[in-house]
Structure 1
């Protein structure tokens, strides 16, 4: 019984029936049966082992920036890793916990005069999520900088994977296939000039602010880029900017984003995603595949 987890882990704080809309960047999502924010990798290991041995469903998430949780919420235990946020620069490497902000990680690299992570200066996710999906922007990808990652299997076994074992592809890593949990990642960078690095980060952040709807809740880039096309351009040419379903709307600033304009639900988001896919397929014959992860149960 999942209720027993509270007494089994007296040092952890468990939140019962916790609204996940408090954690997702869309401000949508149903409740978690139980939610915990562990502070150490040993605590995550113990929780994973316990849930594995007792066949309790467990979902692990990071900063929930590229995530939609359905309105029915998530059964079992939800582990959020954002309390694990240590970042350390040594020599040419930066090692960051899975829950560390990717933006903060780029700041640590800059402060150590290390170049190679500038492209990620405005990506709002966690390090774990970025490695999980090989996040990228402005011609850079996490795979260009990560040399290893420490992960946990669902049975609670620590493993260290090198770059090749992570099997990076476009918005893909082996962690997705093997259902593992990122605990930390090491980035190997090059020595650079701190001022020049900062200037590049400032430039990319200015471009992001000019082009993306950063002032409204969203899940970031909704769709993967189809081969030979630009997603935003397809949605724009389909006449969909401003199109609204419930409280979710296609952004007028960047058509590749869906923004929460009026107390949207996850269902609003998902219905709008399906509508965009249908219209773009009908007009251009292009299948849009979601980049955003959609998890949880539909509301009954």
Structure 2
């Protein structure tokens, strides 16, 4: 199904702001990606329900993206519908020791809201440049903390457009995994159980982490964060650096000279350039260390 066929189906439906043949390079932190047949920016839960049910009725493939911080879209783009949840779906509220945030809320912003309200437990999220929805889907983590440690429940839209609440146990969390990675559902919002904490102490800890990131990670260049998962008992960046790959360039992409587990867009990189570097890293690290690195970044679309 192409963009013209999608226009025929959706042109009379209120599903939010819609664009066709939209370059995904505008919607990823890597600044890379071919066109999506149709990109939708919804602003209401009813939009999400109608999108899910219409796609199911017409057998249209669809996927959800947030801020595009853990996403590599291939150069051929994405067929079907891309639903973007970002600032358009970003309400947050605090009640007692619980924080509830919509799926498009920046995870960093949600964490900072908790800290300002004297609630601890989400400080680890200040180093994760994605959305709350993305964090739930992949059990995002940093600094020894993970989403599953504090999540109570998530409201999701099912394929048929119905809304359901999944408890922590229902999501079957594992390292950088939840059941949402295997089935097409849309996270609407998530609720976290936090504990009273000292705002000043939490802010001091977060400032220390931020300063370290600024000196050890190439934050000034387009990137997706960590490209590979950390193997057990070691770090992907260390293995890549020990393999002599830092600074390696293919096309417009480069393995960062600052951090081995970052690939940066230095000169209008294509997804093919990044994929070639990923393959080079996997082959080299396996040959030298006997370890196969698994990408943490989500790779979607067509060549």
TM-score for both structures, normalised by structure 1: 0.97
Taking a change above 3 Å as real, the CA distance of residues 29 and 11 of structure 1, as seen in their structure-2 partners, is closer
Q: Which of 150, 158, 162 in structure 2 is aligned with 1:153?
A: 158
Match of 1:13 in 2: 17
How far residue 190 of structure 1 moved from its aligned partner, in angstroms, is 0.1
**1:82-97 alignment runs, 5 A limit:** 82=86, 83-97=88-102
Match of 1:228 in 2: 233
SS of the aligned residue for 2:171 comes to: coil
Structure 1: distance between partners of 2:95 and 2:128: 23
Deviations 1:111-155 (A, max 9, x none): 110001111112100000011111111111111111111111222
Match of 1:80 in 2: 84
Match of 1:39 in 2: 43
Structure 2: distance between partners of 1:10 and 1:113: 40
Match of 2:205 in 1: 200
How far residue 233 of structure 1 moved from its aligned partner, in angstroms, is 0.7
Q: Does structure 1 conserve the Cα–Cα contact (< 8 Å) formed by 2:139 and 2:146? A: yes
Question: Where do 5+ consecutive residues of structure 1 fail to align?
Answer: none
The answer to whether structure 1 residue 297 and structure 2 residue 302 are counterparts is yes
Q: Which of 44, 56, 60 in structure 1 is aligned with 2:60?
A: 56
SS of the aligned residue for 2:89 comes to: coil
How far residue 259 of structure 1 moved from its aligned partner, in angstroms, is 0.5
Q: Does structure 1 conserve the Cα–Cα contact (< 8 Å) formed by 2:15 and 2:48? A: no
Deviations 1:191-242 (A, max 9, x none): 1111112111111111221211111101110001112321111000100000
Q: Does structure 1 conserve the Cα–Cα contact (< 8 Å) formed by 2:64 and 2:83? A: yes
Q: Does structure 2 conserve the Cα–Cα contact (< 8 Å) formed by 1:98 and 1:129? A: yes
Structure 1: distance between partners of 2:123 and 2:9: 41
**Number of aligned residues:** 298
Q: Does structure 2 conserve the Cα–Cα contact (< 8 Å) formed by 1:119 and 1:204? A: no
Structure 2: distance between partners of 1:227 and 1:11: 43
Match of 1:30 in 2: 34
- Runs of 4+ displaced beyond 6 Å: none
Deviations 1:17-53 (A, max 9, x none): 1100001010000001111100112211111111111
Q: Does structure 2 conserve the Cα–Cα contact (< 8 Å) formed by 1:56 and 1:77? A: yes
The answer to whether structure 1 residue 166 and structure 2 residue 175 are counterparts is no
Question: Where do 5+ consecutive residues of structure 2 fail to align?
Answer: none
How far residue 10 of structure 1 moved from its aligned partner, in angstroms, is 4.4
Q: Which of 78, 100, 117 in structure 2 is aligned with 1:112?
A: 117
